[in-house]
Amino acid sequence: MFDLHSLRKSFNVTVLEHAALSEFTTFRLGGCCPSLIFCKTSRELQDVVNYFYAERNEEYIVIGEGSNLLVSDQGVKQHVIRYFSEKAYFFHCGDELAAEACSRLDDLALYCAQKGLLGLGFASGIPGTIGGAIAGNAGAFGRQISKVVKTVDVLDGSGQVRTVDAESCRFSYRDSRFKDSNEMIVRVVFKLQESSPEPLLKERKDLLAMRKEKHPDYKKVPCAGSFFKNIEATNPADRRQAAGWFLDQVGAKAMSVGGAGVFEKHANILIKKAKNCTACDVFVLSQRMEKAVLEKFGIVLDREVRMMGNFQ
């Protein structure tokens, strides 16, 4: 029989039973899970996954900081492992940097700027963990994290860790082999360029100012960042087109459903506008936005935000 007390005692991890996932996502929405297990190191994660593997019949989902996630109002039936640490774990030697996947991506961007490591400045201000950034091949300003990845350590469902190279990750735009697999990213080694801290710190300051101008502070305005992926270019020589532009043209900023709305400065960011907002409100609003773009432009929008639970 699955014993949460034994799990808590054996590995000294925090376990919350019937936890409200709304408290652990940046959207501040969603129902409960049977248990929420907090893992702050790769060792804890491996121990907990091994425990689940021994049980066989118990299912689980792994999340990070919950920044690119919309959880159903009904919650989920699986246990949830939260692999996230407020403390950042980085180590670099020359132009290579190893980072634990539970660390924040923005902390990594700051560290690189301070240490004079060029290649991850674009990640300044992007919420979420490094693991989530690798799984979704996070990017901004025409750059993607996959371009500076050397190797990734992954944990499989049986609790075994192995190292894969960047090519084996099968990166594509906002996607990788990890997005819909049972593999968990535990550590990443980046290949960067040695530089001077001064210009990198200035770049970071400028990018943070730009984000503050166009993006909401998710700690004050609950959201999950850009909801839809940008549109693939029809010509390989062209750049992707911002989904926000098409949403602007169909009047998305004026749309709302229940307590869900659209951020006034960015048509591709859905927000929890009122306290009575539900995850279903956000989902229905996203469908309305998709339909408007399809009818006007014949373009099918693809969600960037991960949906967890039942939305039917």
Contact assessment for residue 45 and residue 84, using Cβ atoms and an 8 Å cutoff: no
Residues of the chain with CATH 3.30.465.10: 90-200
116-135 CB burial, b ≥16 within 10 A, e <16: bbbbbbbbbbbbbbbbbbbb
Active site residue 256: no
The CATH topology of domain 217-308 is 3.90.78
Active-site pick, 174, 176, 183, 187: 174
Q: Are 168 and 151 a contacting pair, CB within 8 Å?
A: no
Is residue 226 part of the annotated active site? The answer reads yes
* Partner residues linked to 96 by β-bridges: 93, 191
Q: Per CATH, the architecture of 4-83 is what?
A: 2-Layer Sandwich (3.30)
The pTM assigned to this predicted structure is 0.92
Annotated catalytic residue: which of 65, 226, 286, 290? Answer: 226
Query: Where in the chain is CATH 3.30.43.10?
Result: 4-83
Query: Where in the chain are all domains bearing CATH 3.90.78.10?
Result: 217-308
Q: Is residue 174 annotated as part of the catalytic site, yes or no?
A: yes
Per-residue pLDDT tens, the chain, 312 aa: give them.
578 888 888 888 999 999 999 999 999 999 999 999 999 999 999 999 999 988 777 899 999 999 999 999 999 999 999 999 999 999 999 999 999 999 999 999 999 999 999 999 999 999 999 999 999 999 988 899 999 999 999 999 888 999 999 999 999 999 999 988 889 999 999 999 999 999 999 999 999 999 999 999 999 999 999 999 999 876 565 678 999 999 999 999 999 999 999 999 999 999 999 999 999 999 999 999 999 999 999 999 999 999 999 997
CATH class of domain segment(s) 90-200? alpha beta
